[in-house]
Chains A and B, each alone.
Chain A
């Protein structure tokens, strides 16, 4: 098994008196989909925001490719090659697919003028490399896309920049059956291309289907990190709701006290 590309060790984070993350050890491996699961308020978003550089951390360290790094702001995360696709996707409806994918990082001639042709070609190449077949033109306005297509564009935007790790927050939450299928296929393909993918999801079917390993957060602690093939939906649900399942998970004392 390869070394993790991104790792947190003993991460702690408090908001005032509320201790949100307790000694969180979390790892992302290249070429694998790691599902991050947990009930509402378990600390998933806080963990992601710490890695994104939106929240600072109180103690612990973040390692990237084995090296300790400090991620002080979102740009630092982007520079490392960590991209985030948030639930609200953050696409501008009035721009087309290419324009959205390059937003804020436009290719230019003479620093001021856009080279639209070059961007269009790269957008098309990126979508093609992800075997996306649901989008007919990269010159379509995002306003005219379906939910699944929008999710696809948001993910493609994240991988356009030689990114190494992509965090996906509930990518299938608002999608129908067929579109969920497309997005899950895409998630799998990202990992097959060697990216480290983190899938944040409440949907156990999605998790069991596409993830290689599952990290369950329970009240700010990592209850367990298990391989998908060694586990079952029931076990994960127990880890999420009770913090332990059989002989894995948090010690009974910790689980009940929290």
Chain B
């Protein structure tokens, strides 16, 4: 980072010259915001539009398919059913922003979660894993640690080192350190992916396709052909089946929504004092109020008992929803408020421009892949939780493809440079709502699920392509 303080060569401009940028100091009112948004959609950046429209359309259809669809019990299950897709999809956003792809995030995450499952169920990884595999894991972690240091991905190196310590010291016999170790192993796998893509120069599609296959085998080695029941571990089970208590639900909502409103209001006021472009206070407050009302209504609704069975009370915000909202906020901050995020968008938009601006493109790729596989591990953990088992096909099959579809439906470009974490979550909701709705009417076979998912993806891609073509024409 340069320490030079940038200054315009002739110093500050006179007030009169500044008037040339009248738009900058103008406040964005509600009307401007709406017309900006319409303009964006028209110029090929539909953003969340396809996923929101998709959610509404599917919601309408499924409410006709079954009157149980809109019940609190059913919708309360939705976050748990889609959490693993959302987590993997969040990670994929980083890689997709670079115009790369990671097909292995699902199976890598599955393998990482399976190692945790073996650790906690067996009490010792060195006994639980086949002999050669335990040592391969240690060596692999060290190699990835060295790669991370060499490629200057120091934060990834620290994470991998933590994972190494957890494995060697056999802390993986306890659940929480075990889950952390799974994420660390995921990050190590991601560093390896990044090395192969950015340094060796193999196209990411091929690298991750090869590893997609390889990690499935590793997963079966790790489990020695025996699935591990994860519902025995209350915490693991609750990751997708648990709910925050009504009190904690309120605390969560107040912190998240209150934090958002406080941040945007403060930003608007500060920008007004500094004479910068900003969203007008009216717009900020209106947006905040809408979000607050929706959040309060949802929480009130979720805090009621939604179980149809009188023996157990189910109420509160589902834990997976809370986890993903927190992860999404962290991802959004990382992408929009840090230099790293800015450089990631720049590298995805124009790698050559980024390189000339002094950005280490290799470093960006390695960190993006590391994050992606780390989120893959989170996805693997959530998937094992939701199917109550670290099964022999954990994270394989359609898992990764559904996650890519979620990101794309959410408006992430496969060519890089465009995409937001929030939209990946919305896309994952679209993907998750399809099996949810269809299973309510068992007479509609599972075959419908794939057909409908395919059609939805196609429609989303078509909306994207059409809006982009209009952009180039206009």
Contacts and interface: CB of A to CB of B under 8 A. Distances in A.
A60 B271 CA distance: 52
Contacts of A86: 356
A92 B417 contact: yes
Q: Which 3 A-B residue pairs are closest in the complex by CB-CB distance? A: A104-B357, A128-B13, A92-B349
Interface stretch (B19-27, B86-94, B103-111, B367-375): B19-27
Nearest to A124: B21
A124 B270 contact: no
Nearest to B346: A92
B353 A90 contact: yes
A88 B21 contact: no
Interface of A: 74-75, 78, 86, 88-95, 99-100, 102-108, 111-114, 117, 120-122, 124-129, 131-133, 135-139, 144, 159-163, 193-195
Interface of B: 1-2, 4, 6-14, 17-18, 20-24, 43, 270-271, 274-277, 337-340, 342-343, 345-346, 348-350, 352-354, 356-359, 417-418
A85 to B, nearest CB: 11
17 contacts: A92-B346, A92-B349, A92-B353, A93-B417, A95-B349, A103-B342, A103-B343, A106-B1, A120-B24, A121-B274, A125-B8, A127-B21, A128-B17, A137-B23, A139-B23, A160-B8, A161-B4
A92 B21 contact: no
B339 A128 contact: no
B8 A117 contact: no
Nearest to A88: B352
Contact of A114 (B271, B339, B352): B339
A90 B21 contact: no
B21 A136 contact: yes
Contacts of B274: 117, 121
Contacts of B11: 129
B277 A193 contact: no
A90 B275 CA distance: 30
B6 A94 contact: no
A134 to B, nearest CB: 9
Contacts of B271: 117
A120 B276 CA distance: 7
A120 B274 CA distance: 11
A108 B1 contact: yes
Contacts of B418: 94
Nearest to A164: B9
Contacts of B8: 122, 125-126, 128-129, 159-160
B6 A90 contact: no
A250 to B, nearest CB: 35
